[in-house]
Amino acid sequence: MWETFRYTGNAARVIFGAGTLSQVSAEIRNLGASRALVLSTPNQRRDAEKLAVQIGELAVGVFSNAAMHTPVDVTMQAIAQFDKVGADCIVAIGGGSTIGLGKAIAYRNNAPQLVVATTYAGSEVTPILGQTENGVKTTVRAPSILPETVIYDPELTYGLPVAMSVTSGLNAIAHAVEGLYAQDRNPVASMMAVEGISALKRALPAVRLKPDDGAARADALYGSWLCGVVLGAVGMALHHKLCHTIGGSFDLPHAETHAILLPHTVAYTEKAVSQLLSPVAAIFNTPTAGKGLHDFAVGLGAPLRLSDYGLTPADLDKAVSLATTNPYWNPRPLETKPLRELLQRAWEGASPE
Ligand code: NAD
């Protein structure tokens, strides 16, 4: 039952479908731009160069040093190149790391951004930027950070390795699950959350069996888009904050950390808001959302143990201390003992309580 709520849409133009990469030139012109700096990670440099060739004179350079957690020194190098070549817009092709670099540039110079999203992280539809300077990660939110145009071409995800597809897909599901019990939850975001989780639940097992299954890849990208919209629309809670704390303090990979912790953080919070999480339990056809997410992750062969990433029991104590010294809102408040038990289970790869 909804009485009053607020929903702020983050306006972005979205072009979806197989083969839509061919529309990049038209979309650059749609932005009123004609001199694009194309961004990528070193891994996707060839994709960026190919795209630069495709758009011809609309590309004035390629910068392919995007890195995880958006280091500010890399942003400064990219801005120097942006200025040197006289670029007037950004075309980012890749996942959250490349998109983060584009956002960091736009945050500083207001350049319009076109994103070709190739993972399921969802950053392309949020006005949020996480960046790192001197080892400290900070998060900012501003209208200039939100990309103006997003192209989702499932064909570009056929080569996303299965392991990365699985963890990235679980990262997307995490945005939607937390959206369901957000403090500022609302029926519009919740509707997208349920649809996004359902699409990924259908798609990921099929992607795992056949990574170039066009229909499954489209479904996964559609689901991750909706989950990303939820991330941009409402506030996150324990799960995202714990991933941020642990990932940042122990330099863990982003999507894997989300994948491992999700069933455990959800089981923790579910004790306080089982009703709000009942759509998730229904999607997975399990008695609880935590169990459904755990079984799903096991079935997908997702990483399950923090211990596999070099964390020690002493690190878990430190993580609990960091999380509880600087507490954040969660439907079930953060308490030292249950939180330590949660991390222990995630460390061992046990099923959630
Ligand atoms: P990523 O962008 O770091 O990509 C991982 C690797 O996969 C990279 O080397 C990339 O080049 C490669 N890759 C990407 N797509 C590929 C494809 N289709 N085929 C082959 N290789 C491909 O990973 P990510 O999980 O997408 O992003 C993680 C980063 O994004 C983190 O820094 C995280 O904090 C940030 N993030 C931000 C938001 C936000 O709203 N601000 C949301 C989610 C994630």
pLDDT at 331: 97
What is the distance between the alpha carbons of residues 135 and 20, in angstroms, rounded to a whole number? 38
The answer to whether the CB of 256 falls within 8 A of the CB of 291 is no
The whole model's pTM is what?
0.97
pLDDT at 2: 63
What is the distance between the alpha carbons of residues 291 and 189, in angstroms, rounded to a whole number? 23
Average pLDDT over residues 226-234: 98
* pLDDT above 80 for 326: no
List pLDDT tens digits, range 7-43: 999 989 999 999 999 999 999 999 999 999 999 999 9
The answer to whether the CB of 42 falls within 8 A of the CB of 94 is no
* pLDDT above 80 for 281: yes
**Which residue's CA is the nearest one to ligand 1's atom 34?**
69
* pLDDT above 90 for 327: no
Question: Measured from the CA of 129, which atom of ligand 1 is nearest?
Answer: 41
List pLDDT tens digits, range 267-276: 999 999 999 9
What is the distance between the alpha carbons of residues 122 and 176, in angstroms, rounded to a whole number? 11
The answer to whether the CB of 330 falls within 8 A of the CB of 248 is no
40-44 CB contacts, 8 Å cutoff, 24+ apart:
40/64, 40/66, 40/92, 40/93, 40/94, 40/98, 41/65, 41/66, 41/67, 41/94, 41/95, 41/97, 41/98, 44/93, 44/94, 44/98, 44/118
List pLDDT tens digits, range 177-189: 999 999 999 999 9
The answer to whether the CB of 227 falls within 8 A of the CB of 197 is yes
**Which residue's CA is the nearest one to ligand 1's atom 27?**
96
Does the C-beta of 157 come closer than 6 Å to ligand 1? yes
Does the C-beta of 96 come closer than 6 Å to ligand 1? yes
Average pLDDT over residues 106-132: 97
| Residue whose CB lies within 8 A of the most ligand 1 atoms, among 39, 64, 93, 97, for a mutation test | 97
